[in-house]
Amino acid sequence: MLDRRLGLTDAVVVGLGAMIGAGVFVAFAPAAARAGSLVWVSLAIAAVVAVCNALSSAQLAAQFPAAGGTYVYGRELLGPLPGFLAGWGFIVGKTASCAAMALTVGLYIWPEHANLVAAAAVLLLTALSVLGVQRTATVATVLVAIVLIVLAIFLVMAWGVPSGGEAESVAAGSGTAGVGAAEAGLAPVPAIDGEAWPARILGVLGGAGFCFFAFAGYARIATLGEEVRDPARTIPKAVMLAISLVIVVYALVLAAVIHVLGVGGVAAGAAPVLEAAERIGGGELAPVVRIAAGIAALGALLGGILGVSRTTLAMARDRHLPAPLAAVHATRRTPYVAEICVGVLVAVIVLLADVRQAIGFSSFAVLVYYLVADTAALRLDRRRRRLPAWVPVLGAIGCVTVAGSLPWESVVGGVVVFVVGGAVYAVTRRGMVQPAARSHQA
């Protein structure tokens, strides 16, 4: 067993770090490109789906306070295969996501040597996580605090500049959207705004898929179920506090970047928060935002290493992964072998490949992960399930709808990941630990 050292604040901070780092600096551009001026609807859909999934996950975590998150819930309530596929999708998808976050750190902090900086960041945070989850939570608190302070300054300054959205609207209303926007220094309104409603609805759902990726970090809290004090009470509170705070932050930041850049400017850029900062006060805020983005990516990377290593631990306990990965340090009480292996793997990936364009399947894998969680929540005994049935049902419908609206490359990549996972399950199922043996072992 791992040590239960994390309190409510620690758990909330872990979730905040994982979500804000992965989302606020990167998710709005592709979402706006897909949804156009209806990007607000995309954000709202993603928030509703995320809240439903968070409630389901919190209820399950209270019933099964063990490391591994949805892998454990699926295994216990749906059977070994659904649990395995959830865990497999989480490990593969989030390993790629960790590599992308590490590269983001390198690109913001030292672009000329981004891969080396990324690898060094991964190894440093891996060493930190091995030293103990309490130290990791303390560092996460510092990182989140810095990012939130910078975002607060950005929000205050953003509303002091002229509205880019107003200039963009004038250009669009003149009948020469592209020319007018160019003269104003703004990107044209996304083409989706001129499409018929069926195309716009599909665009909104696709935008929700990108926004949902930004919310997915609350799963880190559930995967730490074996290290949280009083998990039945702490995890549900931590999940809902973290996701509520993030929804507020995302809405405020999206409003600010649209105010400065206009919807077209948000859609056309790669880093809308940074690009908006460059338009504020002569650009003096931009270096600060650049550093904050690197710090936020560090927080997301730290949360990713924690989540992937704990799911790896749980799957190794069941012999779906090599048994040594289930080792727990005698004094630190951390899954140090899993943490080291995950860290080294991510470091190797960032040194050998540029994975930023190859992680589209991560959103698909995460949505399948939560689909398993919602389905598992429906299998809870009614006397123990405090949620009305429509919550996990709505979450499951949202997962399927949003996943199916992602770009076809992401869907195909995700399907390939799970086909490979099914093959791995078929090979490893004979050696898996049976429930009685697993309970005794835990």
**Can you state the angle between helices 231-268 and 133-158, rounded to 10 degrees?**
40
The sign of the dihedral angle between the CA atoms of 126, 130, 135, 136 is positive
3 inside domain: no
* 123: confidence class by pLDDT, cuts 50, 70, 90: very high
Residue bearing the bigger pLDDT, 131 or 186: 131
pLDDT for residue 188: 64
Name, of 71-80, 129-138, 348-357, the range with top average pLDDT. 71-80
416 inside domain: yes
- What share of the chain in percent tops pLDDT 90? 35
394 inside domain: yes
440 inside domain: no
Enclosing domain of residue 151 = 8-433
Residue bearing the bigger pLDDT, 383 or 153: 153
438 inside domain: no
pLDDT digits 0-9 by tens, 367-402: 899 899 999 999 988 777 778 889 999 999 999 988
The amino acid present at 381, given as its one-letter code, is D
pLDDT digits 0-9 by tens, 286-341: 899 988 988 888 888 888 888 899 899 999 999 999 999 999 988 888 899 999 99
pLDDT for residue 431: 61
Indicate the pTM of the whole model. Answer: 0.80
Q: Count of domains in the chain?
A: 1
306 inside domain: yes
Contact between 132 and 338 under an 8 Å Cβ cutoff? The reply is no
Name, of 158-172, 255-269, 350-364, the range with top average pLDDT. 255-269
Inform me whether the pLDDT recorded for 251 exceeds 80: yes
Cα radius of gyration (the chain): 21
442 inside domain: no
Q: Give me the CATH number covering residue 357.
A: 1.20.1740.10
> What residue has token string 């103990």?
132
Of 118-122, 130-134, 161-165, 404-408, where does mean pLDDT reach its minimum? 161-165
121 inside domain: yes
